[in-house]
Structure 1
């Protein structure tokens, strides 16, 4: 795994952290430092490992110590914990779910009213 790939992974996680958790900072390590305990523990441990791998990848000799499988696993865990979709997709999903629940409630209310009217022989 090349240093560029690890750098891109760390940048992507940093972008997602800024978008989802609203953490400001220059890089992934800075965002983790600023976020502190507000960052969930599993995300913090995986992102910390990714930031350390990013730092090691800058030196060609130290880059040999990096476990590519562990880096890929940490990156995947970070992506799954931060969510793959955008913020707007989350709001859209929430709105659709809310609308569906309102429509379902209205349908159940209409069915209940029709049942009561039929029971009272008014329909």
Structure 2
């Protein structure tokens, strides 16, 4: 039963890390995993899925006996390491720079097209 308690605390830790680092504040661990989609690498998604499945199995005493302690602990270590490495401020800066870059490209494209049309009509 000690292993089942550790799985529950690990799952709770992953839920809090996902809330802080990814902004996923509602739902179970599996629901948050579905919402995270492409924000997490495939390996980390798989590891969090292992922990979510282990948490469901730990709720049943007979199924809790079938859990592999080493596999769940390794999955927790890999997932928590990745989630702790996410820099929220850097993600926000990256999103802002991406939006500004696409806007700058669009403005540049419109100006170039305007010059081409004016040149074609003989106005420049």
- TM-score, length-normalised on structure 2? 0.63
Paired position in structure 2 for 1:68: 69
Please show how residues 24-35 of structure 1 align to structure 2 within 5 Å.
24-35=25-36
> How many residue pairs end up in the alignment?
89
Q: Secondary structure at the match of 1:83?
A: helix
Q: Distance in 2 between matches of 1:56 and 1:73?
A: 17
CA shift for structure 1 position 36 = 2.3
Q: Distance in 1 between matches of 2:35 and 2:85?
A: 23
Is the contact between residue 7 and residue 54 of structure 1 (CA under 8 Å) also seen in structure 2? yes
Q: Secondary structure at the match of 1:82?
A: helix
CA shift for structure 1 position 55 = 0.4
CA shift for structure 1 position 83 = 1.6
- TM-score, length-normalised on structure 1? 0.64
Q: Distance in 1 between matches of 2:44 and 2:20?
A: 15
CA shift for structure 1 position 87 = 5.9
Is the contact between residue 24 and residue 32 of structure 2 (CA under 8 Å) also seen in structure 1? yes
Paired position in structure 2 for 1:56: 57
Paired position in structure 2 for 1:115: none
Q: Distance in 2 between matches of 1:14 and 1:43?
A: 14
Q: Secondary structure at the match of 1:65?
A: coil
Is the contact between residue 3 and residue 69 of structure 2 (CA under 8 Å) also seen in structure 1? no
Is the contact between residue 24 and residue 34 of structure 1 (CA under 8 Å) also seen in structure 2? no
Q: Distance in 1 between matches of 2:51 and 2:16?
A: 14
Q: Which ranges in structure 1 are unaligned for 5 or more consecutive residues?
A: 91-123
